[in-house]
Structure 1
Amino acid sequence: MLKKTIAMLGLALLAGVHGAAANTFEWYKAHPEQAKAMFDACKERLKSNEKLSQAEREECRRAGDAVMTGGKYERRTPAKTW
C-alpha cells in the first residue's frame, strides 16, 4: 500500500513538473481505485504537515470529491416548503 501511495505521489509530481493535464473529477469517477489512492496520499501528506501547492490541493479536492460521492454525484435543490 505504501509503495502504491508513493507511486501515485510520484506520478502526480511528475505530471505537475512536466505540465501534463491534471485528472478531472469525471476521470476519478471512472477510476475509483486511483481516486482512493490519491485521496489517501493527500491525507497522509496533510497529516505530516507537508505544504501542498495550489495545483496539488485542487488535485486532492477532485480525488476526494470522487471518493466521497462514490462517483454518484447528483445535484439536488431543496424542496420549497412555503
Structure 2
Amino acid sequence: MPTYDYHCANNQQTLSVQHSMKESLSTWGELCQRTQQDPGKTPLDTPIERVISGGIALPIPTAIPQLPMAGCCGNPTSCGGH
C-alpha cells in the first residue's frame, strides 16, 4: 500500500499514512485517527492537504537507440532489387 503525506496548515504538522490509491483523507480528525496521533488543540474538522512528494525517480534515457529498418528481403537499407 502506498504511503501519503498530509499537511495541516492550521498546526503546520505533516503526517504520513498508508492507504489505497482510491482513498483520500480530508480532515485533521481523519488523519489523526488513521495515524493514531493525538489531535491536540487542532479542531478535528480542520482541512488537510495531500503533499506531493517526489516518488520513485526513474532514469530517463538521453538517447533512444535506433533500430535498423529491414526491407522485405531483410536488408537493413532497402530491397533495391525488387
Aligning the two structures, in what range does the TM-score lie when normalised by the shorter sequence? under 0.3
Quick check: which one's helix share is greater?
1
Compare relative contact order (CA 8 Å, sep 6+) and give the higher one, 1 or 2. Answer: 1
| TM-score using structure 2 length | 0.24
| TM-score using structure 1 length | 0.24
Larger radius of gyration: 2
